Structure 1
């Protein structure tokens, strides 16, 4: 696990000098505290006789082959150089095949298998990799730079092309270290952020700077960039499979995925929240270990947000060496750190507990397993069932046409996280809309109507015509012909999962030099889960039935039957107490940076309604406050 950066230029006036390359690399020192290397070739001549320059930078977090496997890495004849962030879990199988084909290996690490595979297959090699990765390969033979990102988007990769030069990096701050790259805000991305709480790929908050989409590679050659998919995720096909066969296949895939992700030459452990997914991953990992696994959970002194007693229960059941961290989370203390590390506006407040868990876990281990992906793959979210009900209920009983139905929207919210009133309001909003529009109600932070009321006239006039919902619709269309719950969950796999959850975990963990591996997101398992009929995943209002059928004997039954809590912090209370002064001093200040986009009176109304307990706007306020602090830090 590491950080990568670099550039290719066709104009000597656009060259990246050694000091600049070093600055770009140092921006991500937290991702790789163990080693740092750069490599440049400022005298390359392409097939047309034109001069090319290339520079690669690397920060290393040593996991496998601690003494070797340094990067940038080159093949035997020095014609291909590579920097690589992530882990290739099937590298041992690939190595045997490559050695049989005559390749000689100089290291015992996983990265060298990419290098030799690229020698043989070029960009077709990426489809052979099972792992999480962001890769940059300079191919001197073809005078090209090739970038690639893993199928699920577990590892980030940003790039920008301008004036015949491409710059790239694991984080936006690498690109921001180059003058003229991150210098103009993308207004459409601000609209997308306030819709989703993240900026969807391929966009970033900066105009002209892009995220390489998951499952894609890019080729920069002759001063031009082309982007291509190498993974076709097709959730429109449903398998004809029995429950017993599905159980057997799930047991085989998930067990193998966990086993592959347990390879490490450094201290190793597992996150254990006490939920279904992390408990199962831990249980399977313990089966593959000949000693008690190290497990880690985080608790808060607020009952609605603390589930450590469930983690304790699972740890005792499995016999793990369990560490429980109890912290008093502080939005005031952590917000500035999040704004620095996340690089662009990112409004998922569960980044706060993820930050604390990563910080404390790193004190004990360098690699941790996580249960991320179980809800998306096995229909675990309540919103999937709500979408299903919102489709059926109006047909059976047109409740949305009854007099007084609109009064639901005017009921006061509770400050409790799982407020019944709040859920009823969101359900009511969905009735009478198309399926993807109804689903958008469970995803969006600010609805179309709320954004129209929030934006000032100048911002509205300058917004591009694209509707943020188009990002969801493109994913929704992939699963045409499937049931609504499958369409929602498989859409999440290519939208919410990479853009929100993977970004949250990668940045929070790598800020502390911690590698997090997610066995649920093995691409073989993702493809299998997408094909499974919904009736094998959900029964009534309960999801993850197939996980229980396959692995229920490994953990206490209570873990499957308890109410889902999620992973959060009490931001509703924070905005009425410890964050209140910050909101008034920044978001509501006369010099508020968001005022260039938003109406001050509309923002003030949201703040007042929340502080006076008229409505719970905590998630909206968190997104607005993060945007304000980000604008102050980065613009």
Structure 2
């Protein structure tokens, strides 16, 4: 796991010199505390009319595989290919054997060299063979092109800036912002999208002129032009066809699906246990992380090291179920009670999340990464299980709404404004308030309804926030991001469309960003077996009946792995990885929040009406409504402005 940065240019006036490359590289020192490397090729003319672009590649290394031989940038023996790479290729041993069979003599034991030689043989087709998490920058001196590649699910970040006669790239935006005189102009539509989703969706960033390479894409810069192409584009419209005894030929039997997921997930875990440094796992006591630990223990000859943090607030404390799993599996368990110091942590979050980011579970993720790094350098997680196997409660709501859609007059009654007259508590998660929000959206099409449920600020609330002149600058409908992903599952049921839309949007934009930034801030690598491409493609093809049956979520996982965990874990109600924001904003963080959001120096007032913010704070303080997620989003945006627009 590492940090990469650099650029390529065909105009000498836009060259990156050695000092600038060093600044760009060292801005990513937290991602790679074990080593650094640079490659710099000046723009020059090799022969008449043959200009060779200038190239800069920077790398910070977190050593995981081949500690002695895996330094980067890495080149082929003739120097014609140069590569920097962030991530891990889990099937590199199989690819290595393939390369040796073709006559290649590998000089290292690293996965990096495997990528180089595979590219030499197969060009841009090489990346389809990689099973892993990766962001790659490869300079091909023969073709005089720079190739950027990002993994299929967006586990590793890659941002870039394409301008006339130059392309810049980095693992994190902060690396590019070390370059003097680069503009820092906020994109108004990105603010609107951020306040919708709690993150800025790819391919855009918060700043105009800077982009994220989308998951499953590669980009090629050559002769001053940039082109992109999608190398991973699975057909989400098709369900798995694998008949068992008594099954129709168009469906997969439960027995066949159970056998296949056992094999695939076990293999995915085993591949991710390859490491030349100490390895462990996050353990929350939920189904997904517990299942990953159980499979790890099956493949380990010694107790797996597991890590849990707990809070002194019962509603947010998972120590008890985690301890139950650890005892059942015989792991070497480490736990830490944390009293979150949110005020002290906020500047660090703004520094490392160099785009506005409002998922408050970044706080516990930060603390568990900090604890885990004290003992190991690599940790496995359960990320992806909810999206792939319908684990979120909101998927049951999608299913219920689909049933109501077919009821005609009853739907009209449920969607009527009469339900909005019911009294309810100020708690956002009160059952009456949840029912109100559910019925408010029933009149909308399924995808728009789902967006309304998951939005931090719905369309009406956002419009009420903004100044008129800012509202006039908004050029995009935030719904386009979700709708494009939803439509990838055309012809399938709404629950499947919602799960796969989350896989393509929420997972890379929120969950993977949260884990990558929080873990890399502490020099920790986190691996997610559920996001093995084989598991993803198999799960995406499964019929809904094998994921959500009645009110039972993750049905197939329960059938396939039920005996591995205590019954109490399978029966346990899902708990989010959260913090008590509602209480903090009324108590510990009240004064700081009011100072940040209502002061004379508040920067977001350029876009957001102060009186709208004051209303949110007043309603929250008075317990009229729990606006904690919305307030957290505004605080995150303000802190980002103060850190990154003032520099």
* Same fold, judged at TM 0.5 (above): yes
Partner of 2:145: 144
Q: Distance in 2 between matches of 1:482 and 1:45?
A: 56
Deviation string, structure 1 residues 86-120 (Cα, Å, up to 9, x no partner) = 00000000001101112121111111100000101
**2:533 counterpart of 1:490:** no
- CA distance in 2 between partners of 1:516 and 1:421 (Å): 39
Q: CA deviation at 1:44?
A: 4.7
Question: Matches of 1:266 and 1:597 in 2, distance apart?
Answer: 48
Alpha-carbon offset, residue 443 of structure 1: 1.3
Q: Counterpart in 2 of 1:560?
A: 570
1:45 Cα deviation (Å)? Answer: 4.2
Which residue of structure 2 aligns with residue 154 of structure 1? 155
Q: Give yes or no for contact 2:9–2:43 (8 Å, CA) kept in 1.
A: no
Mapped partners of 1:226, 1:331: distance in 2? 43
Give, in whole Å, the separation in 2 of the partners of 1:43 and 1:203.
30
What secondary structure is seen at the aligned counterpart in 2 of 1:138? strand
The corresponding residue for 1:267 is 278
Q: Indicate if the aligned counterparts of 1:253 and 1:525 stay in contact, CA closer than 8 A.
A: yes
Q: Which residue of 1 aligns with 2:328?
A: 317
Correspondence for 1:190: 191
SS at structure 2 position matched to 1:133: strand
Q: Secondary structure at the match of 1:328?
A: coil
SS of 2:41's equivalent in the other structure is: strand
Larger mean CA deviation between 366-375 and 229-238 belongs to 229-238
Q: Which residue of 2 aligns with 1:369?
A: 380
Alignment partners' CA distance in 1, 2:440 and 2:416: 14
Whole-Å separation in 1 of the counterparts to 2:283 and 2:639? 32
**Residue 177 of structure 1 aligns with which residue?**
178
Aligned partner of residue 269 in structure 1, secondary structure? strand
Offset at residue 428 of structure 1 (A): 2.1
Q: Is the 8 A contact 1:414 1:421 kept in 2?
A: no
Q: Is contact 1:46–1:143 with CA below 8 Å preserved after alignment?
A: no
2:314 to 303, 311, 317: 303
Alignment correspondent of 1:447: 458
Structure 1 spans left out of the alignment, 5+ residues = none
Shift of 1:182: 4.4
Which residue, 582, 588, 603 being the options, matches 2:592?
Answer: 582
CA distance in 2, matches of 1:462, 1:441: 22
- SS of the equivalent of 1:462 reads coil
3-state SS of paired residue (1:532): coil
Q: CA deviation at 1:39?
A: 0.9
Aligned partner of 1:520 in structure 2 is 530
Instruction: Give the C-alpha shift of residue 271 in structure 1.
Output: 0.6
* 1:258 alignment partner in structure 2: 269
In structure 2, the residue matched to 1:201 is 202
Contact 1:353 1:569 in 2 (8 A): yes
Distance between the aligned counterparts of 2:104 and 2:406, measured in 1?
A: 64
- The 5-angstrom pairing of residues 104-119 of structure 1 reads 104-119=105-120
Q: Secondary structure at the match of 1:445?
A: coil
User: Is residue 46–residue 52 contact of structure 1 (8 Å, CA) maintained in 2?
Assistant: no
* Distance across 1 between alignment mates of 2:304 and 2:121: 39
554-563 vs 392-401, which moves further: 392-401
Paired residues for 1:452-463 under 5 Å: 452-463=463-474
CA distance in 1, matches of 2:432, 2:537: 37
Q: How big is the shift at 1:422? A: 3.7
Matched with 2:26 is: 26
| Structure 1 length-normalised TM | 0.98
* Partner in structure 2 of residue 404 of structure 1: 418
Q: Work out which of the residue numbers 589, 612, 615 in structure 2 matches 1:602.
A: 612
Instruction: Describe the superposition over 1:553-600 as per-residue Cα deviations: whole angstroms up to 9, x where unpaired.
Output: 101111111110010000010000111111111111122101110011
| CA deviation profile, 1:70-93 (whole Å, cap 9, x unmatched) | 000001111000000000000000
**Deviation readout 1:132-165 (Å, 9 max, x if unpaired):** 0000000000000000000000000000011311
Distance 2:225 2:435 in 1: 51
Within the candidate set 363, 377, 390, 1:352 is matched to 363
The residue aligned with 2:444 is: 433
- Whole-angstrom distance in 2 between the partners of 1:18 and 1:9: 14
Task: Report what 1:125 is aligned to.
Answer: 126
Distance 1:182 1:93 in 2: 45
- Residue in 1 that maps onto 2:247: none
Q: Provide, for residues 405-461 of structure 1, a one-character-per-residue CA deviation record: whole Å limited to 9, x for no partner.
A: 1214x633227xx43234223212221110001111221100010011000111012
Q: For 2:149 and 2:433, how far apart are their aligned partners in 1?
A: 41
Does structure 1 conserve the Cα–Cα contact (< 8 Å) formed by 2:424 and 2:430? Answer: no
- Contact 2:390–2:547 at 8 Å: present in 1 too? yes
> Root-mean-square deviation (CA), in Å?
1.2
Query: Secondary structure, in 3 states, of the residue corresponding to 1:202?
Result: coil
| Contact 1:390-1:431 within 8 A present in 2 as well | yes
Q: Does 1:572 align with 2:582?
A: yes
Q: 1:242 matched to which residue of 2?
A: 253
Name which of structure 1's ranges 305-314 and 233-242 shifts more when overlaid on structure 2. 233-242
For 2:96, the equivalent position in structure 1 comes to 95
CA distance 1:13–1:43, change in 2 (3 Å): closer
Distance in structure 2 (CA, Å) of the matches to 1:129 and 1:43: 32
For 1:413, the equivalent position in structure 2 comes to: 426
Is the contact between residue 274 and residue 310 of structure 1 (CA under 8 Å) also seen in structure 2? yes
Work out the CA distance in 2 between the residues paired with 1:454 and 1:197: 15
- 1:629 is aligned to 639
C-alpha separation between the residues in 2 aligned to 1:572 and 1:402?
A: 30
Per the TM alignment, residue 402 of structure 1 is displaced from its structure 2 partner at its CA by 5.3
C-alpha distance in structure 1 between counterparts of 2:553 and 2:322, whole Å: 20
Quick check: 1:2 aligned with 2:13?
no
More deviation, 496-505/102-111: 102-111
Q: Which runs of 5+ in 2 are unaligned?
A: 241-250
- Match of 1:50, SS state, is strand
1:542 to 552, 570, 576: 552
Helix, strand or coil: the match of 1:5? strand
Tell me the alpha carbon deviations over residues 237-259 of structure 1, each in whole angstroms, 9 at most, x when there is no partner.
01120000000110010000000
Q: Would you say how many aligned residue pairs link Structure 1 and Structure 2?
A: 631
Deviations 1:353-379 (A, max 9, x none): 000000111001000000000000000
Q: Secondary structure at the match of 1:265?
A: coil
